[in-house]
Structure 1
Amino acid sequence: MADRLAQVSGHITNSYGRGLLAGEVAIITGAAQGIGRSAALLFAKEGAKVVVSDLDEKKAQLVVDEIKAAGGDALAVGGDVGADDFPQRILDATIKKYGKLNHIVNNAGFTFDRMLHTTPDDAWDIIMKVHVRAPFRLIRAAAPYLRLKGSSENRSIINVSSTSGLHGNVGQANYAAAKSAVIGLTKTICKEWGPFGVRANTVAFGFVQTRLTAAKEEGATIEIEGKKVALGIPGGKSSVTSTGGPTPGIPLGRGATPDEAAASVLFLASPLASFVSGHTLEVTGGAGI
């Protein structure tokens, strides 16, 4: 045990000068904006080579350009995470460019809110496809690069969930079910891949200031399978960059910034969480306690 603690301590200490993720390779989906963009920039700052994936490849490339301008290394891979060929495409690009894979952050997603009794099949199916099927298929395809016997490299999978997945939420039967499923998937990966040194954790976000929590009246949309889906909350915050006044129900009195949300993802990927696996980290500002 003492030897293991010394090894972990040495790893962390030696990493600080070059970054917590120095030399490691991370795939982050949904990384062109919001939490994903912040995570990509933060991972790169901490020394990781980042594969920036997003439905909008042009926006993903802008994030890559930003990383490179700051002296980092990154690659943009566009495409729908739900597409059948997506896992192999992004893995082929990653391995061709960097030769290995250390982390997968399954962050891509959106909301398609309806009251339960008015939720059509397509609103249910697409949320399950993007939030559950897509992470499962990417992780499964990555098995040859992560389930490595005898490797001492830091390797992890982080699946993004939500407090809706923990507690349910009005108007989000589809989203809540999907985000709950992700937690079960993560715990199973923890048990199956732990013997290979792979950690698997979930981060359950509460209120974070992104397109998904901005005012729906602002008109933000996402196009999925040819259909435009409106994003946001009716009467929500008028700006994703403004905390406004105190937010009821959150002891800290405000929503999180995308950078704060990304910091929790970095923690789970980093050697600081070397003995954390199968955990669901709630990032809520104290809401729901």
Structure 2
Amino acid sequence: MAERLEQVAGHLSNTHSRGLLNGEVAIITGTYFQDYKYAKGIGRSAALLFAKEGAKVVVSDLDEKKAQVVVDEIKAAGGDAFAVGGDVGSEEFPKKIVDATIQKFGKINHIVNNAGFTYDRMLHTMPDDAFDIIMKIHVRAPFRLVRAAAPYMRLKGDDRLANRSIVNVSSVAGLHGNVGQANYAAAKAAVTGFTKTIAKEWGAFNVRANTVAYGHVLTRLTAAKESGATIEIDGKKVALGVPGAKPAGTSLPADAKSFPHIPLARPGTADEAAAAMLFLASPLASYVSGHTLEVTGGMGI
């Protein structure tokens, strides 16, 4: 045991000196971004940040052209990445992205299940398809991707000493519920149980699994619904955003009167949200597993 702890400590020290994720491979889903002043998308910010810390990043999104834009940004900054397009909910997606990752980089260290969207309706008017698609994308899709990656993460011998983790994205809606989001709240609550199960089943292989639960972060999901942002699901356009929300960029700097429910008196940015993902994936969290990290500015305390 003492010898193993020394090996882990040495790996931690060496990795940190060259970047928190130096040489590691990370799959990040949902890297779509909107051209808002502050709302650039958590997935994009995470991809850029992971690459900056030395990771080789597999950038994935429904629209491969948009994913490629993020790849180009990473490469322009001297990083290494490639794009994999596709619907995370499709039957063939997990095998497609896992096979592509292994062919390109030969290993998988981290999976960040970030892809998702909202499909809001009041409970008594919510159709079955609105409930089912949210569960499919937020719960079934991460489960299938993690399962597909199992042969490359449940390693034995010296290979198990490598830094490996799963980071799943939840929300304050999953912790406390939210009006108009019975589907989203149920899905995000399920993510927490799923993550804890991975932590218990894969801990023996030195794979950590954690959840990050976001509050009000400036992205396309919290931008004004009137801005017209949509996503196409099964041939139908689903409107994104919050009705009457303040336009992105008007809420910073802090304004306590505008955000009385947030102790920090402002929404978070995508970069701040991505930093939490980096922490959970990095060796700085080497003894953190099965945890739900609330990134909310204090909302809900």
Q: CA contact under 8 A between 1:22 and 1:48: conserved in structure 2? A: yes
Q: CA contact under 8 A between 1:81 and 1:87: conserved in structure 2? A: yes
| Structure 1 residue 17: Cα displacement | 3.0
Question: % of aligned pairs identical?
Answer: 78
Equivalent residue runs for 1:182-193 within 5 Å? 182-193=191-202
Higher mean displacement: 190-199 or 1-10: 1-10
Structure 2 counterpart of 1:263, from 263, 272, 275: 275
Which secondary structure state, in structure 1, belongs to the residue aligned with residue 264 of structure 2? Answer: coil
Q: CA contact under 8 A between 1:82 and 1:129: conserved in structure 2? A: yes
* Correspondence 1:210 to 2:219: yes
* Correspondence 1:10 to 2:10: yes
> Which stretches of structure 1, 4 residues or more, deviate above 6 A after TM superposition?
none
TM-score, normalised via structure 2 length: 0.93
Unpaired runs of at least 5, structure 2: 34-40
Unpaired runs of at least 5, structure 1: none
Match of 1:25 in 2: 25
Which secondary structure state, in structure 2, belongs to the residue aligned with residue 282 of structure 1? Answer: strand
Match of 2:182 in 1: 173
Match of 2:261 in 1: 249
The alpha-carbon distance between structure 1 residues 241 and 222, as it changes in their structure 2 partners (threshold 3 A), is farther
Match of 1:278 in 2: 290
Q: Distance in 1 between matches of 2:234 and 2:87?
A: 9
Q: Distance in 2 between matches of 1:234 and 1:6?
A: 54
Match of 2:144 in 1: 137
Q: Distance in 1 between matches of 2:234 and 2:205?
A: 37
Q: CA contact under 8 A between 1:24 and 1:47: conserved in structure 2? A: yes
* Correspondence 1:55 to 2:67: no
CA offset digits 1:94-126 (Å, max 9, x no partner)? 000000000000000000001000100110010
CA offset digits 1:171-212 (Å, max 9, x no partner)? 000000000001000001111111111100000000100000
Which secondary structure state, in structure 1, belongs to the residue aligned with residue 108 of structure 2? Answer: coil
Higher mean displacement: 15-24 or 232-241: 232-241
Which secondary structure state, in structure 1, belongs to the residue aligned with residue 213 of structure 2? Answer: strand
Q: CA contact under 8 A between 1:211 and 1:240: conserved in structure 2? A: no
The alpha-carbon distance between structure 1 residues 241 and 70, as it changes in their structure 2 partners (threshold 3 A), is farther
Q: Distance in 1 between matches of 2:183 and 2:129?
A: 10
Q: Distance in 1 between matches of 2:192 and 2:23?
A: 29
Q: CA RMSD in A?
A: 1.3
Q: Distance in 1 between matches of 2:104 and 2:229?
A: 34
Which secondary structure state, in structure 1, belongs to the residue aligned with residue 161 of structure 2? Answer: coil
Q: Distance in 2 between matches of 1:32 and 1:227?
A: 18
Q: CA contact under 8 A between 1:163 and 1:205: conserved in structure 2? A: yes
The alpha-carbon distance between structure 1 residues 240 and 223, as it changes in their structure 2 partners (threshold 3 A), is farther
* Correspondence 1:94 to 2:109: no
Higher mean displacement: 131-140 or 232-241: 232-241
Structure 2 counterpart of 1:224, from 227, 233, 242: 233
Q: CA contact under 8 A between 1:91 and 1:142: conserved in structure 2? A: yes
| Structure 1 residue 4: Cα displacement | 5.1
Q: Distance in 2 between matches of 1:131 and 1:224?
A: 14
Q: CA contact under 8 A between 1:252 and 1:285: conserved in structure 2? A: yes
Structure 1 counterpart of 2:76, from 45, 58, 69: 69
The alpha-carbon distance between structure 1 residues 49 and 216, as it changes in their structure 2 partners (threshold 3 A), is same
Q: CA contact under 8 A between 2:61 and 2:85: conserved in structure 1? A: yes
| Structure 1 residue 63: Cα displacement | 0.3
Q: CA contact under 8 A between 2:23 and 2:54: conserved in structure 1? A: yes
